[in-house]
Structure 1
């Protein structure tokens, strides 16, 4: 395995390649993301440990979507069968399920440490809202301690996210052990921080543009529903918002594999 340094403009290419790969089999990617999100959601309902269990499963979901993107991108011209995309994702997770769970446990510990440190600023209010689903009132949100806790959590989560960005893929495609995969992922992300920054900024622009479009469409549908005196159109607007969020998330994950592919090569 060899680290590759890419120019900052490569971040835009990763987004384009991800979108192109997604469009080859969009329903397969959306369905795959929905299935894993459903599994994570069900796991989060387990009493006492649900939130931690959901965190443990996140690297497995990441690898599944990266494997699906790799399979779709490497398939011959045309749309790969939807079934083959699913099988590639599930086979990747099944092959490395043990190391993935170890990696997921390390990610959960890291995330809980971030929340614990942020709790020093506000007595744990932000952690309770984020992890336990405590109600967020305007009074709580406007407290200086709560806002400081949010900024601390964001600042600490960035290096945590970079440390696990390539880790599942490094384990799967290069056979790197969990601890080393975290270290190599952090080093690779820091060395290619320019490309990753551009990647994030471009995706942020996509999210904002699509979000504005969905909001305008939803507002129009709800206005039509209000004039018509029925709730059906308003319900359609809600479905559009949820569906749009699922599609955007699936698009994003379909592009993550390209950042890994260009950051490492076989030695």
Structure 2
């Protein structure tokens, strides 16, 4: 496996490719994302272990969207069966994905636990939906410190898990190695990922501004439609974001010989280098 170094402008290409791919199969990709989120919500409702199991499912949902985006990018329609792609590729693959999910849940819970040291658990309670957010709470210095600490700690966790599901699925790498290679791949192409993140922030802000105007008009006419439009738009944007992730993976790592669907890579990528 080779790590490919790409220029910073490739991050914009990933966003545009995600948007184009979602446009080609909007209903199928949005439905898969919604079903994945709905599954996590149902599982999180289980007593005691539900929220932990839901966290452990996130790498599987990420892989589902990456495989679905790859299918859509090559003219094939993603099907609901892709929701089980993490569990039907052999016992070794299943074991690796389950281990990856457990490690993600453990890492996330450690971050939430670290934030409780700063503010006594207020941020964790709000984040987990146990306490409503209030202006007074948000203005507390301890709450803000816990929030920033969680964000700083979550960034390396996110980088480690960014490509890990795909590395397991397409390259057959062990969970621990996939975390290492994913982190290194993101750091070596940090310019492209920075542009990718900035572009997505711009998309979210621009969409939010347009949505605020539209919902403001609709709320004055038909209030119930405005709320539904906001939820639908948020879900669609999240689905497009997850759709674009596969292109960052495709251009960061050389494709395996067994899967020609990942052969298309950035035309302006530099020569690959060993990990």
Same fold (TM over 0.5): yes
TM-score, normalised relative to structure 1: 0.91
1:95-244 aligned at under 5 Å gives the runs 95=89, 96-224=93-221, 233-244=222-233
- Counterpart of 2:247? 258
Instruction: Point out 4+ residue stretches in structure 1 off by more than 3 angstroms.
Output: 84-93
Question: How far apart, CA to CA, are the structure 2 residues paired with 1:44 and 1:207?
Answer: 27
CA RMSD of aligned residues (A): 1.4
Q: Aligned partners of 1:91, 1:141: CA distance in 2, in Å?
A: 40
Unaligned runs of 5+ in 1: 225-232
Is 1:9 paired with 2:3?
no
Encode CA deviations 1:120-175: one digit per residue, 9 max, x unaligned. Answer: 11111111211252222222221111110000000110111000000000000000
Q: Distance in 2 between matches of 1:91 and 1:154?
A: 30
Among 86, 103, 115, the residue aligned to 2:80: 86
Contact 1:162 1:185 in 2 (8 A): yes
User: Counterpart in 1 of 2:21?
Assistant: 21
Q: State the TM-score, normalized to the length of structure 2.
A: 0.88
Paired residue secondary structure (2:47):
coil
Query: SS at the partner of 2:88?
Result: helix
Tell me which residue corresponds to 1:31: 31
**Cα separation, partners in 2 of 1:202 and 1:160, compared to 1, 3 Å:** same
1:55 aligns with 2:52: no
Separation in 2 of the partners of 1:153 and 1:192? 24
The more displaced of 6-15 and 132-141 is 132-141
| SS of equivalent residue, structure 2 residue 128 | helix
Q: Do the aligned residues in 1 keep the contact of 2:86 with 2:97 (CA within 8 Å)?
A: no
By how many angstroms is 1:48 displaced?
A: 1.5
Q: Which runs of 5+ in 2 are unaligned?
A: 257-275
